[in-house]
């Protein structure tokens, strides 16, 4: 009886160890996409006669809860509260205007008559 309990206990421990060491970690669930990206950024606000564009700008991607924020250089206003959906190892905004993968951010987003653009990489 003791031998059976010992074998059963060992098998239970091994099964628990194997389950806890699962290596199926999806990068889209991590903060893989958070960070700074360098490249072309732009912003147009026709109502306020604002047009900003540079090839040496920066976008900082920040995850806030389940949504993302995009903070720009060159006095471009931030984009906040953007819902992103996972598609394999890429995040795509619900309207398809923003795409992020491990090395690039591509953005052509319009909100309330204002347009944000970015084509940046790490």
Residue at 38 is within a domain = yes
Q: Retrieve residue 6's tokens.
A: 């010992």
Q: Does 60 fall in a domain?
A: yes
How many C-beta neighbours within 10 Å does residue 26 have? 10
Q: What DSSP letter does each residue of 86-100 carry, written as one string?
A: EETTEEEETTSSEEE
In a domain, 2, yes or no: no
Query: When comparing pLDDT for 93 and 30, which is higher?
Result: 93
- Whether 52 is covered by a domain: the verdict is yes
Q: How do residues 34-59 score in pLDDT, each as one tens digit?
A: 999 999 999 999 999 999 999 999 99
Number of domains in the chain: 1
Q: At residue 32, does pLDDT exceed 90? A: no
Provide mean pLDDT across the span 86-98: 87
pTM comes to: 0.74
Residues 104 and 33: their CA atoms lie apart, in Å, by: 9
Beta bridge partner(s), residue 72: 59
In this prediction, residues 84-99 reach a mean pLDDT of: 88
The answer to the question of residue 8 being in a domain is: no
114: closest CA among 64, 63, 47?
A: 47
Q: Which residue range is the domain that position 52 belongs to?
A: 33-121
């Amino acid at each position: 009886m003791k031998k059976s309990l010992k074998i059963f206990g060992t098998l239970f421990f091994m099964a628990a160890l194997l389950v806890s060491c699962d290596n199926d970690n999806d990068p889209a669930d991590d903060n893989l996409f958070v960070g700074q990206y360098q490249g072309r950024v732009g912003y147009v606000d026709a109502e306020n006669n604002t047009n900003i564009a540079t090839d040496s700008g920066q976008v900082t991607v920040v995850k806030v809860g389940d949504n993302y924020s995009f903070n720009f250089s060159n006095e471009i206003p931030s984009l906040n509260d953007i819902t992103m959906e996972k598609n394999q190892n890429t995040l795509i905004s619900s309207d398809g205007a923003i795409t992020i993968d491990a090395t690039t951010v591509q953005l052509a987003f319009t909100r309330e008559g204002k347009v944000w653009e970015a084509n940046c990489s790490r």
